[in-house]
Amino acid sequence: MRSSNNFDAVRVAAAVMVVVGHHFVLIGEPAPRIAGMPIHTVGVAIFFTVSGYLIAQSVTRTPSARSFLWKRFIRIVPGLACVVLVTVFIIGPAISSLAPAAYFSAPETWSYLLNLGFIAQYDLPGVFETEPNLKATVNGSLWTLGVEVCCYIGALLLGRIRGSRLRTSAYVAAAVVLAGLSFASLPVSPAAELCVFFALGALASTHLPNLVGPARGAAVAGAIVVLAVSPLMGGVAPAIALWLALPTAIIWVGRMSTPGVRSAARFGDLSYGIYLWGYLVAQLLISWIGLDHPELLLVHTLGAVGILGALSWWLIERPALRFKGVTLGKSVPQTASSAQSTRAYELAGGSAPGSAKPVAGGSRHGSEAAFLVGAQLHRAITMRGVQG
């Protein structure tokens, strides 16, 4: 079933923004800015906003915590596993400056597999450590997956609060606390900033649709004005303005049904694959092509990640969605058409009601989930300034 809204196109646009921003970071140039923020940071913020909007709805529609968590898992892990395993066992030894024996005996090689558990790792021995690569980071995009996992756990907990008013109050309180952490210059601040967008996206899922007629028009117009003038503000005002305006504008655009735009995923939901592979592909092309022709480098990067995004969707992600119906050890594979019907809600960084970036485990694994939250907030901020 084809999507009846623009969210597919919004996610693809966000993924491309992340790739473009990382291109500039990796060639040593300042990234273009939108509303005062680097373009790749805006792209990630859009992913978290859309994820919060859709995941909040998914929580209310999924009575079982185990089912909710499994559906998140089956949406995110197959694509992530593919990029991590290919990186460690094929790309790494092929381009490392170390001999294969030295590469596979280095502890960094095996610790990189912790990315499969949403614990961000950035380096492989002998990979991207010499010019023309300016950064040794192998894939600077993966750290956000652990942060989003934390958001899923939070959404699951807050979504179990009875009463819409109390649940709304809890989301507002969470957003305020996270905003405070983001301003505190703490190790968790980059992660907290993204979580604010998730929480506000979740709030928008409840309250923005209730705005009709002039009220909705006024909210959207106000959001556009705030985004336009936010770079001129001082202090913490730009960040607060973006938190309030960006979710409003993005959810409004996503809920629209624009001919042509709403069919952005007719060739597949490429956004998650583009996000997963974009940084790594840019690093590879820099090592092969060099930095003499940055425009050509960007064109090649976008073309390559578009192809890899399609391959990831059709060969890995889409087939995996057939197993969303696995319950109590029994597999109830979905048909291709039923898997396709959930795509109106899928997210990337993707989030479908039951097919977005997931967390492993179930409701009876509370201690492991708590440990995972703590681990991610610690690991996410070791990204050495590479955001997105």
- The reported pLDDT for the residue numbered 65 is 94
Q: Are 34 and 321 in contact (CB under 8 A)?
A: no
252 within domain boundaries: yes
Distance in angstroms (rounded) separating the CA atoms of residues 379 and 188:
9
245 within domain boundaries: yes
This prediction's pTM: 0.84
Written as six digits, the tokens of 376 are: 């991610």
Task: Output the DSSP codes for 330-367.
Answer: B--PPPHHHHHTTGGG-------TT-SS--SS-TT-HH
387 within domain boundaries: no
Task: List phi, psi (to 5°) of 360.
Answer: -80, 150
388 within domain boundaries: no
Provide the domain count of the chain.
1
Distance set, CA 143 to CA 33, 191, 323, 340, 385 (Å)? 21, 9, 26, 28, 11
254 within domain boundaries: yes
1 within domain boundaries: no
2 within domain boundaries: no
Distance in angstroms (rounded) separating the CA atoms of residues 302 and 306:
6
- The reported pLDDT for the residue numbered 242 is 86
167 within domain boundaries: yes
Q: Are 354 and 346 in contact (CB under 8 A)?
A: no
Query: How far, rounded to the nearest angstrom, does the alpha carbon of residue 308 sit from its chain's CA centroid?
Result: 17
Task: Cite the beta strand spans of the chain per DSSP E.
Answer: 33-34, 37-38
Q: Find the radius of gyration of the CA atoms of the chain.
A: 20
Residue whose C-alpha is closest to residue 284's, from 86, 10, 98, 103: 86
**Segments forming the whole domain that contains residue 237:** 7-382
Q: What is the pLDDT along the chain (388 residues), one digit of tens a residue?
A: 457 899 999 999 999 999 999 999 999 999 999 888 999 999 999 999 999 999 999 998 888 999 999 999 999 999 999 999 999 999 999 999 999 999 999 999 999 999 999 999 999 999 999 999 999 999 999 999 999 999 999 999 999 998 888 999 999 999 999 999 999 989 999 999 999 999 999 998 887 765 555 666 677 677 777 777 777 776 787 788 889 889 988 998 999 999 999 999 888 999 999 999 999 999 999 999 999 999 999 999 999 999 999 999 999 999 999 998 776 455 455 544 444 444 434 433 344 333 333 333 333 344 344 444 444 544 544 444 444 4
- The reported pLDDT for the residue numbered 73 is 96
